[in-house]
């Protein structure tokens, strides 16, 4: 028995009643499935909903493209084989030079239904794709519907600095902390009402979800929402692990444990693991290891480094943990370590690490070997303020 019913499951129970008689567009990906792993588009068509447009976020409709690869608009015939007439529709890309639906793309749409599985970190671009699509619907007089899904790393824990708008980008458009503790539906309401987008918005709420839940407590099936997000373990470390993208270290892309394996050819794994374990960071152990990425950074080269093993996800602090890791690598290998240069996620001036953090203060503290504990104390005040600001837009106890 499933403990939680996603927004899609709830809408299916209602036999898609809110969509009857409307021309429906969908913004979805491969994780847009119900509790029985049936895809949103399949369910719409089998229930005779008038589907007129398909939109896809980063990685494409089926999650085949790697990170930061522009997605072209294509024609999908995935479901046409089961139809008596030709239902081939273009899949409009919302990742590339044009990340907002155009008036032409929306001209045959009355309501745009967004069903995207987020992972609870500000860097993950799906929530910002949703926000831009909602803005387009507000501009062009279209209704916007979000089918809500769980925040897989719970809806309570907040961590990391709140974004300084001077560092806004496609890995953070609005002032949220790195780990925001909200569902995609709650973010939609916050952006729409709290930030004044003003769309005609309806969020189909989940049933049975509680804010303390991790995804493995929901009873729902995990479908990787992007090619390097294979498991809940990945999502758990991702609020910190994604920071490695802003450096010249491998974040484990091209291995079977992305964002858990961290390293580079110049790293002595035993030395790094020993130094990191000496900090006795909560909820985590670092295992010395070697790995060889099959693609991405250091493809085909042996990297020394660590695997980040989460021993207690309730006490683990991913953002702080990975900032500490980066600071230690830089201290051990000052001539080999480097910050990644732009461009990154359509930002061509500011450093990728800074836009990931939402501030340049973290980088400057690392460069001066400053106190990370002091930084953490500083951002806790902002987190407390954000917790109050988000409260009116939360849907679940």
CATH of residue 340's domain is: 3.90.1150.140
Q: How far apart are CA 62 and CA 225, in angstroms?
A: 9
Residue range 364-391, pLDDT digits in tens: 999 999 999 988 998 999 999 999 999 9
Peptide bond into 242 cis (omega under 30): no
Residue range 334-340: mean pLDDT, rounded:
98
Residue whose tokens read 């969509």? 19
> How many C-alpha atoms does 319 have within 13 Å on its Cβ side?
26
Is the pLDDT score of 1 beyond 50?
no
Residues 120 and 252 in one domain: no
Q: Please write down the HEC assignment for all residues of 60-126.
A: CCCCCCCCCCCCCCEEECCCHHHCCCCCCEEEEECCCCCCCCCHHHHCCCCEEEEECCCCCECCCCH
pLDDT, position 59:
84
Task: Provide the domain limits for residue 46.
Answer: 7-221
Query: Exposure of 280 by Cβ count < 10 A (0-12 exposed, 13-18 middle, 19+ buried)?
Result: exposed
Look at the chain and count its residues.
Answer: 397
Is the pLDDT score of 87 beyond 90?
no
Instruction: Look at 24-38, 70-84, 114-128, 180-194 and tell me which has the smallest mean pLDDT.
Output: 70-84
Residue 387 lies in a domain: no
Q: How far apart are CA 221 and CA 274, in angstroms?
A: 37
Domains in the chain: how many in total? Answer: 2
Is the pLDDT score of 85 beyond 60?
no
Residues 99 and 165 in one domain: yes
**Distances from the Cα of 135 to the Cα of 140, 209, 293, 345, angstroms:** 9, 27, 39, 20
> How many C-alpha atoms does 173 have within 13 Å on its Cβ side?
18
Residues 151 and 279 in one domain: no
Residue range 151-155: mean pLDDT, rounded:
98
Under the banding of pLDDT at 50, 70 and 90, the label for residue 168 is very high
Residues 28 and 107 in one domain: yes
Residues 184 and 281 in one domain: no
- pTM for the full model? 0.94
**Per-residue buried b or exposed e for 125-150, using 16+ beta carbons within 10 Å of the residue's own CB:** bbbbbbbbbbbbbbebebbbbbbbbb
Residues 197 and 238 in one domain: no
Residues 255 and 305 in one domain: yes
């Amino acid at each position: 028995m499933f403990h939680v019913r996603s927004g899609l499951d709830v809408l299916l129970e209602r036999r898609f009643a809110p969509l009857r008689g409307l021309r429906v567009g969908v913004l979805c990906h491969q994780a847009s499935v119900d509790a029985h792993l049936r895809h949103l588009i399949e369910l719409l068509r089998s229930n005779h909903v008038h589907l007129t447009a398909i939109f896809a976020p980063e990685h494409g409709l089926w999650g085949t493209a790697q990170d930061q690869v522009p997605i072209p608009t294509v024609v999908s015939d995935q479901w046409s084989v089961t139809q008596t007439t030709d239902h081939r529709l273009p899949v409009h890309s919302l990742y590339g030079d044009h990340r907002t639906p155009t008036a032409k793309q929306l001209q045959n749409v009355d309501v745009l239904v967004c069903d995207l599985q987020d992972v609870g970190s500000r860097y993950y671009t799906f929530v910002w794709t949703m926000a831009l699509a909602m803005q387009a619907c507000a501009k062009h007089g279209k209704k916007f519907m979000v089918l809500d899904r769980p925040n897989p790393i719970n809806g309570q824990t907040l961590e990391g600095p709140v974004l300084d708008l001077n560092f806004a980008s496609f890995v953070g458009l609005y002032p949220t902390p790195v780990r925001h503790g909200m569902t995609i539906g709650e973010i939609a309401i916050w952006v729409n009402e709290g930030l004044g987008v003003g769309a005609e918005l309806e969020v189909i709420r989940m049933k049975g979800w509680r804010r303390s839940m991790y995804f493995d407590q929901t009873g729902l099936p995990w479908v990787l929402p992007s090619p390097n997000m294979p498991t809940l373990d990945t999502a758990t470390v991702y609020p910190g692990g994604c920071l490695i993208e802003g450096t010249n270290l491998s974040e484990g892309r091209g291995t079977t444990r992305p964002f858990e394996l961290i390293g580079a050819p110049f790293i002595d794994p035993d030395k790094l693991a020993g130094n990191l374990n000496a900090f006795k960071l909560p909820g985590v152990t670092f295992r010395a290891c070697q790995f060889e990425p099959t693609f991405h950074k250091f493809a085909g080269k042996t990297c020394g480094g660590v695997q980040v093993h989460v021993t207690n996800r309730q006490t683990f602090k991913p953002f702080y943990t990975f900032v500490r890791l980066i600071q230690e690598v830089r201290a051990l290998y000052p001539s080999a370590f480097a910050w990644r240069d732009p461009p990154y996620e359509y930002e061509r001036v500011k450093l990728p690490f800074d836009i990931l953090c939402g501030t340049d203060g973290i980088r400057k503290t690392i460069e001066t070997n400053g106190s990370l504990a002091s930084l953490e104390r500083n951002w806790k005040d902002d987190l407390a303020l954000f917790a109050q600001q988000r409260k009116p837009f939360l849907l679940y106890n």
